């Protein structure tokens, strides 16, 4: 056998040089994998970066919109809560002086009327004139009264004549009775007639005195020393007096040698007002000047409507500088309250429950009742109800309610201890 035949019978050799043994199937060589076709690696990197940028932009936009909506919601909720300005009570620094308004009054102030009817004949004093007690101020003509007096005097004379005759007759009858010349009955009649005539004379005399007294009222005299503040009638004016007529004031007379002032003192200061104490009076007409007065009397009772004590202060006015009806301020010296607090007057709430202030505690309003110890106008002294750390609302609205949520816009005159505590908490 040749070599080729031997090769055929014993095995074959594939193209790759691998010899197939006898009895084995020939193995075809595996062709090489073709190279994959697609985008280059650099393009893929660009697309990946672009995708990341787009995703970042989308996410950033969504986050920004969500944040804006959240901020808007918060701002809307905050704007719905009212903001208030607060002030903190300060220890009382008011002077130990109580200033209250009052009106001056003449010590004696009297309208002068006529006691008899007639016509004004003459007047002698006009407004502003100073008169002395007993001076003639006016003359009144009373023709009807004069005639009545003359008739009454004539009746008196007639009654007196009848009385004289009755007395003579009575005496005669009594003498004749002693000799039994007349009866006892006739004597008693004569005596009784004399007594009746005496009563008639007494009545006539009383009527004459009454009319003379009315006639004396034709002259109007000043009842005290003073100044004429009004004259309401002129010469020839009709004057009517009597029960069924409305009297007309002729003059108005005021005594201003001493002036009195009535002052309503708050109830909390009533114990400090003592009769005989001193008080100072000030007027805008006399800047920088004080008039000294004396507490003469007080009502010794608190007015239930105003809760004040009515006090009278008298001031000597020899020069007439103080005029009746003037608006004045009366200054009382009172003990100082060292434990009270002061607040601006525009923090007070006047409600049916009583005097209150709005206090901010834990972000909500609490209405606290207070009691005023002293009123100084722009500020008030609080006797009870508050502490120095209470945040009191300035200019509270009428609709302010307890429990209402508020925001504090400022912290005016905040106590140092409270500020340090707040700083430490932060």
Span 180-196, pLDDT tens digits: 888 889 888 888 988 99
pLDDT category, 199, cuts 50, 70, 90?
A: very high
pLDDT in the model for residue 126: 93
Query: Are 163 and 144 within 8 A, CB to CB?
Result: no
DSSP codes of every residue in 321-350: -S-TT-EEEEEEE----SS-EEEEGGGEEE
Task: Give the pLDDT score at 22.
Answer: 45
Helices (H), 348-415: none
The least confident of 32-36, 255-259, 336-340 is: 32-36
Q: Contact at 8 Å (CB) between 108 and 324?
A: no
Instruction: With cut-offs at 50, 70 and 90, classify the pLDDT of residue 412.
Output: low
CA distance linking residue 271 with residue 273, whole number of Å: 6
Residue 105's pLDDT band (boundaries 50, 70, 90)?
very high
Q: Are 367 and 356 in contact (CB under 8 A)?
A: yes
**Tens digits of residue pLDDT in 8-57:** 444 444 444 444 444 444 555 555 555 545 567 778 788 788 888 888 88
**Percent of the chain surpassing pLDDT 90:** 31
Name the band, by pLDDT with cuts 50, 70 and 90, for residue 417: very low
Comparing 339 with 171, the larger pLDDT belongs to: 171
Predicted local distance difference test score (pLDDT) of residue 75: 65
By C-alpha distance, which of 84, 85, 86 is closest to 389?
Answer: 86
Taking CA atoms, 92 is separated from 73, 367, 375, in Å, by 45, 22, 12
Compute CA distances 286 → 68, 271, 281, 330, whole Å: 67, 31, 10, 14
* Mean pLDDT value of segment 347-359: 88
Q: 367-382, pLDDT tens digit by residue?
A: 999 888 777 778 888 8
Tens digits of per-residue pLDDT, 262-296?
Answer: 999 888 788 888 899 999 999 988 998 999 999 99
Cα separations (Å) of 422 from 87, 192, 305?
Answer: 16, 112, 45
Which pair of tokens denotes residue 332?
């009382």
**Cβ–Cβ < 8 Å for 310, 303:** yes
Question: What is the model's pLDDT at position 20?
Answer: 45
* Cα 125 to the center of its chain, rounded Å: 42
- Using pLDDT thresholds of 50, 70 and 90, give the confidence band for residue 225: very high
- DSSP lists the bridge partners of residue 231 as 251
Residue 217 pLDDT level (bands cut at 50, 70, 90): confident
Higher pLDDT among residues 58 and 202, named by residue? 202
| 82 secondary structure, DSSP code | P
Distance between CA atoms of residues 13 and 29, nearest Å: 12
Quick check: 3 pLDDT over 70?
no
Q: What is the residue-averaged pLDDT of the chain?
A: 82
Q: What is the mean pLDDT of residues 164-177?
A: 88
- Residue 77 has a pLDDT of 58
- What's the pLDDT at 32? 57
Q: Are 273 and 298 in contact (CB under 8 A)?
A: yes
Least confident stretch, 22-36, 95-109, 338-352: 22-36
Which tokens sit at 188? Answer: 């008693």
The pLDDT-based confidence of 111 (bands split at 50, 70, 90) is very high
Q: Can you give the length of the chain in residues?
A: 426
Pairing mode, if any, of strands 327-333 and 97-112?
antiparallel
CB 330 within 8 A of CB 99: yes
Q: Is the pLDDT of residue 307 over 90?
A: no
CA distances from 107 to 131, 227, 260 (A): 15, 12, 6
Contacts for 90 with CB less than 8 Å, ≥ 6 apart: 341, 342, 343, 388, 413
Residue 371, C-beta contacts closer than 8 angstroms, at least 6 positions apart: 268, 355, 382, 383, 384, 385
DSSP β-ladder status, 308-316 and 327-333: unpaired
* Residue 106 reports pLDDT greater than 70: yes
Pick the residue with more confidence: 84 or 339? 84
Angle between helices 143-178 and 184-216 (to 10 degrees): 160
Residue pair 84/394 in contact by the 8 Å Cβ criterion? yes
Q: 178 pLDDT band (50/70/90 cuts)?
A: confident
Q: Is the per-residue pLDDT at 80 higher than 70?
A: no
Of 91-95, 284-288, 389-393, 407-411, the poorest mean pLDDT is in: 91-95
pLDDT at 129: 92
Tokens of 319: 């020069």
Widest Cα–Cα separation across the chain: 240
> 359 near 392, Cβ under 8 Å?
yes
Domains of the chain: 84-93+340-425 (2.40.420.20), 143-217 (1.10.287.470)
CA–CA dist 310, 167 (Å, integer): 66
The structure tokens listed for 274 are 């003592």
Instruction: Output 95 or 362, whichever has higher pLDDT.
Output: 362
């Amino acid at each position: 056998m040749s070599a080729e035949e031997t090769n055929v019978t014993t095995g074959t050799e594939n193209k790759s040089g691998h010899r197939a043994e006898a009895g084995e199937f020939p193995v075809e060589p595996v062709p090489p994998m073709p190279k994959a076709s697609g985008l280059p690696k650099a393009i893929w990197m660009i697309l990946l970066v672009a995708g990341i940028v787009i995703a970042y932009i989308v996410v950033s936009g969504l986050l920004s919109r969500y944040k804006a909506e959240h901020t808007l919601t918060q701002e809307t909720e905050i704007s719905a809560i009212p903001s208030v300005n607060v002030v903190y009570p300060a220890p009382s620094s008011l002077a130990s002086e109580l200033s209250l308004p009052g009106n001056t009054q003449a010590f004696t102030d009297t309208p002068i009327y006529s006691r008899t009817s007639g016509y004004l004949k003459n007047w002698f004093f006009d407004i502003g004139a100073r008169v002395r007690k007993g001076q003639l101020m006016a003359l009144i003509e009373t023709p009807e009264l004069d005639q009545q007096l003359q008739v009454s005097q004539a009746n008196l004379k007639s009654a007196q004549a009848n009385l004289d005759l009755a007395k003579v007759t009575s005496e005669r009858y009594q003498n004749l009775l002693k000799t039994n010349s007349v009866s006892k009955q006739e004597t008693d009649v004569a005596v009784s007639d004399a007594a009746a005539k005496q009563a008639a004379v007494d009545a006539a005399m009383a009527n004459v005195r009454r009319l003379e007294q009315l006639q004396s009222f034709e002259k109007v005299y000043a009842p005290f020393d003073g100044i004429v503040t009004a004259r309401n009638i002129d010469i020839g004016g009709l004057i009517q007096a009597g029960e069924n007529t409305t009297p007309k004031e002729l003059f108005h007379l005021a005594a201003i040698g001493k002036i009195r002032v009535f002052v309503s003192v708050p109830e909390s200061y009533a114990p400090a007002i003592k009769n005989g104490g001193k008080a100072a009076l000030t007027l805008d007409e006399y800047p920088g000047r004080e008039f000294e007065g004396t507490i003469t009397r007080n009502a010794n009772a608190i007015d239930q409507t105003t809760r004040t004590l009515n006090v009278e202060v008298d001031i000597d006015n020899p020069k007439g500088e103080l005029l009746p009806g003037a608006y004045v301020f009366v200054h009382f010296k009172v003990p100082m309250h060292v434990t009270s607090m002061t607040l601006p007057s525009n923090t007070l709430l006047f409600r049916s429950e009583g005097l209150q202030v709005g206090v901010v505690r834990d972000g909500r309003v609490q209405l606290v009742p207070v009691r005023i110890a002293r009123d100084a106008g722009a500020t008030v002294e609080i006797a009870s109800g508050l502490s120095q750390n209470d945040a009191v609302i300035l200019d509270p609205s009428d609709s302010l309610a307890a429990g209402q949520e508020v925001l504090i816009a400022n912290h005016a005159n905040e106590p140092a201890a409270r500020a340090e505590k707040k700083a430490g908490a932060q």
